[in-house]
Amino acid sequence: MRISLIITTYNNPIFLKKVLQGVLNQTLLPYEVIVADDGSTEETFKVIREYQEVFPIPLLHVWHEDLGFRAAKIRNEAIKLASGEYMVFLDGDCIPDKNFILDHLILSEKGYFVQGKRILLDSKISQKFDFESIKSFYKKLILFFSPHISNRHHLIRLSIFPSFKNQKIKGIKGCNLGIFKKDLIAVNGFNEDFMGWGREDTELIIRLYKYGLKRKEHPFKAICFHLWHPPQSKENLYKNELLLKKTLQSREYFCSNGIIKKPFF
């Protein structure tokens, strides 16, 4: 199965380099990587061009003008460009574990989306942390006892442990999701009414539930390492909460302002 890895980024070329290095070191490479760029400046372009020279798979770049936080829209643009059957979403501040793509492939199942897990790093180690910090079992063991991480239990890789299936809303994180492209098209992708940080990923999942999908997750697979950064502005959060509430109250799973613009008459 062809996997399209979609990495969302905005003006953080140092972190993006670390993420792309993590992709290069995967035990199973995706079919292609698409950087969904929410309006970054030339420094991000330079990083992508640098890695395009060494990537053994297509490394594509989709960009739009910086008009504020529009992750929903740029992810939709990446989905439209993607040629894989399965989309894995990763944020540009999340370094993937070496088995990240392999785990998403193993966990993928028709009728489900996969919610991956993340290990949180604090500000004291994030600047120096990169894929080399987790490349070996020994380095992961050292990290396990570090006071600078949260969710350390995800560092253990237990393949025999069963996955969980449910329709929970709690714990939805758009920084680590695996979804079949046909399911994204069926609900019309992300809702581009969401502008500013917050809730666009949860709203998508609620519509996927209404469409009939369930959630699948594994506590020890599909892991990424979330680098610390200052918190996003929450000035639009109230409006986004209202949009989320509207979706919760609706029976509709197809959003009008998504990949396809639904006409109003």
Q: pLDDT in tens for each of the 265 residues of the chain?
A: 999 999 999 999 999 999 999 999 999 999 999 999 999 999 999 999 999 999 999 999 999 999 999 999 999 999 999 999 999 999 999 999 999 999 999 999 999 999 999 999 999 999 999 999 999 988 999 999 999 999 999 988 888 888 999 999 999 999 999 999 999 999 999 999 999 999 999 999 999 999 999 999 999 999 999 999 888 888 889 999 999 999 999 999 999 999 998 655 4
CA angle (123 as vertex; 228, 89 as ends), nearest 5: 15
Going by CATH, does the domain composed of 3-249 fall within 3.90.550.10?
yes
pTM comes to: 0.95
Token output for 39: 């309006």
What pairing do the DSSP bridges indicate for beta strands 112-115 and 94-96? unpaired
Angle in degrees, CA 121, 32, 206, rounded to 5: 65
